Amino acid sequence: MIYIKLILNFLGEIISPLIGENSKNVFSKMYSHFYTGTKIKKFASWGTGSVLYYKPNNLQGLNHIKVGYNTTFAKGLQLTARAKDKFAQEVIITIGSNCIFRDNNHISATNKIYIGDYVLTGTNVLICDNAHGNSTLKNLRIPPVKRKLYSKGGIFIGNNVWIGNNACILSNVKIGEGAIIGANAVVTKDVPPYQIAVGVPAKNIKIQ
């Protein structure tokens, strides 16, 4: 196996100067559309033109997830929906159309997550409506990986929202249309439409 990898690396070095960066990007996009095709049927619904870049880190519960059209998920995606009843068919995550999720986004729901149209994120964004247990002493005595997932409520993100790098959006939060979430912000409370939220925990700042 190691020899095959070395041969492939060697061939890549030879071909690389001939195909150029633009061609590499084309091949990457083509393969990502092929990879997307292997996953489409597993989603509750998948819109035309949406693409899942190879390779995501973790995909779970796709039958509980709806995705609109022309939405892009970049590499390193973690997308997980965990129904309370393994036989349930309800949609837990709904993602709109014309959205762009940059590298290493993590979207996880046990309750409900709704994301509107034209949402744009930076890299390393967390949108998660659950945690490993609550903060009671009884739970804290249990190893985190063995705690039951706990949610305070779902997440709603309106249309045209921009979410900066490394932002965290936690449970029981509503982000209104046109809002901006600053880089590194931790959102634990609602953000009204057309407001900017920054800081830890995130606070709304005035718009000029």
> Which residues are tagged catalytic?
132
> Could you identify the residue written with the tokens 């033109």?
49
- Asked if 64 and 78 touch (Cβ cutoff 8 Å), the reply is no
3-class SS letters over 154-168: CEEECCCCEECCCCE
For 146: left if phi > 0, alpha if psi spans -120 to 50, otherwise beta; the answer is alpha
Residue 68's closest CA among 132, 117, 133, 121? 117
CA of residue 27 relative to chain centroid, distance: 24
Strand partners, 169: 127, 187
Alpha-carbon span 15 to 8, nearest angstrom: 10
